[in-house]
Every structure is written in structure tokens, then in C-alpha cells.
Amino acid sequence: MPSVRIPTPLRKLTADKDEVSISAANVNELIESLESQFPGIKNRLCDESGNLRRFINLYVNNEDIRFLDGKETALKEEDVVSIIPAIAGGRA
């Protein structure tokens, strides 16, 4: 199953897990599966129309999905998906 790296600000929703494995054939399915396991996470990643939020970057392996097939980007068993806020955090 593809694995998903969860950034710190979203770990409240994943019971502090920094990596989870999700069965999904593409990024769309992956977001829906994440939502069913961790309710509320989709709203943090996507806006009301379901589009990926502008300041969230999703990488499949090391490529931004916006330069692949967007949310239709296909996923393979060994793929690593990283969720990366565009503006790095640092609350002090």
C-alpha cells in the first residue's frame, strides 16, 4: 500500500502518527480514504469545491502532483505520498 507522510500540524487528526499506509489507486481515492479513517483531514487539504488548497503541496515520491496528473495521479504499492504545507510552520 502507498504510505502517506503526515506533517506536524495535521497529526492531531491522525492520533500523532507521522506516517500511515492507505490503500488507494490514485490521489483522489487516497484523500477519500484518509478522510474516512481520520475525519476532518479532507477539509484541511481541499477547499469547498474539492480542489487541493493552494498552500498544500502533495508529492508522490519526489514530484509535486500538480506537475503529474493532479488528483488523478495514479499510485503504486511502493509509492510515498508527502503532504507538505507550502509555508513552513514554526509557531513561537
Summarize as ranges the residues that interact with other proteins (CB under 8 A). 9, 43-44, 47, 53-56, 64, 66-67, 85-92
Instruction: For strands 63-64 and 56-60, give the pairing.
Output: antiparallel
Residue 18 is given by DSSP the state S
Q: Name the minimum Å distance from CB 56 to other proteins.
A: 6
How far, in Å, CA of 56 to CA of 59, rounded?
A: 10
The residue (of 67 and 77) whose beta carbon lies closer to other proteins is 67
Q: Name the minimum Å distance from CB 75 to other proteins.
A: 20
Q: Name the minimum Å distance from CB 23 to other proteins.
A: 26
Distance of CA 28 to the CA centre of its chain: 10
